[in-house]
A = this chain, B = another copy of it.
Amino acid sequence: MSVDLAARLAAWKTLVDARLDAWLAPKESFPQPLFDAMRYSLFAGGKRIRPAFAFAAAEAAGGAEDEALPFAAVIEMIHTYSLIHDDLPAMDDDDLRRGKPTNHVLYGEGIAILAGDALLTDAFGWLAGPDVAAHHPPARVLRILGEIARAAGSCGMVAGQALDLTSEGKDVDLPTLEFLHTHKTGALIRASTVVGGLAAGATEVDLGILSSYAERVGLAFQIADDVLDVEGETAELGKPVGSDESLSKATYPAVIGMGESKRRAAELMESAVACLAPFGARGEVLAALARFVVERRH
């Protein structure tokens, strides 16, 4: 049976966008530039790939979309904060993302930093709020919150970004590069998938499968991104081709070559799909998602 992944992605994006739109509805007392800056990056055309991992994992574990939705939305807020901060002049110094001006270009660096801070903090606030409590017992919410915080914090995403920053202009070896990628992007993709399973009340065995799958996909996703950054065109990516390379940043093609990078991404992706065997037909959407994110970068 073939999966109409494009339709699923579109439906999930609609769900997540509606939830984020409701959460970030205008408030009168809100300092307007901060609010505008938060909404700007949140609705700047993201494909909602991390929420898709959460929804697909929930489905594989026999759960419903409703159960995963607030967690998917929260993870997208955290992903968005990380993009705003990564684009800052003191970090990757990018003026464009997805063909649009980056947050600090439009709102200034100060508000961009604060918009990121607010998205991150509010994400945890929503996790502790009534939307989540309506569907899940407190102990489960805390476990999910812990997964997300560990994936995003000093032992996860921030560690990867810090290593990326301190590696600029240096030759890095393969273990360093793998640490960088598994932390900077892999950790949150893994958490999205595991959290989708937790939202559906998955067994520990199922959670282990989801984690193994997501670790492989997360790394394959980032290798594919590195490859596309070299091969891609500005118009398609919405950022200058080779912008990472021009900073002498660590990428797979630079360290192990183009052909080997492609082979490695494909191998990891197939290995991820193989992990899903115990799910049978329920794992088909996760398998399609793995192929999608590795074969085409968003």
Within the complex, which residue of B34, B122, B161, B165 is in contact with A149, where a contact is CB–CB below 8 Å?
B122
Could you show 25 A-B contacts with beta carbons less than 8 Å apart? Answer: A27-B155, A29-B159, A29-B179, A30-B154, A30-B155, A31-B162, A33-B162, A34-B158, A38-B154, A90-B108, A90-B110, A90-B112, A90-B113, A91-B113, A111-B162, A114-B161, A118-B158, A121-B153, A124-B149, A125-B149, A128-B142, A128-B143, A129-B146, A138-B142, A145-B145
Q: Do B114 and A35 touch (CB < 8 A)? A: no
The 10 closest A-B pairs by CB, nearest first: A125-B149, A90-B109, A128-B146, A138-B138, A121-B153, A118-B154, A34-B162, A31-B162, A118-B158, A138-B139
A90-B108, A128-B146 as given contacts; A154 in contact with B121, CB under 8 Å: yes
Chain A residues within CB distance 8 Å of chain B:
27, 29-31, 33-35, 38, 81, 85, 88-91, 108-114, 116-122, 124-125, 127-129, 133, 137-139, 141-143, 145-146, 149-150, 152-155, 158-159, 161-163, 165-166, 179
Q: In this complex, which of A108, A109, A142 has the most chain B Cβ atoms within 10 angstroms of its Cβ?
A: A142
A31, A116, A155 pick with most chain B CB within 10 angstroms: A31
Min CB distance A168 to B, Å, is 9
A214 to chain B, nearest CB (A): 19
Complex CA–CA separation, A180 to B242 (angstroms): 43
- Contacts A133-B142, A154-B30 given; indicate if A113 touches B85 (C-beta within 8 A): yes
Chain B residues near A33 (CB-CB < 8 A) = 162, 166
Residue of B nearest to A117 (CB): B158
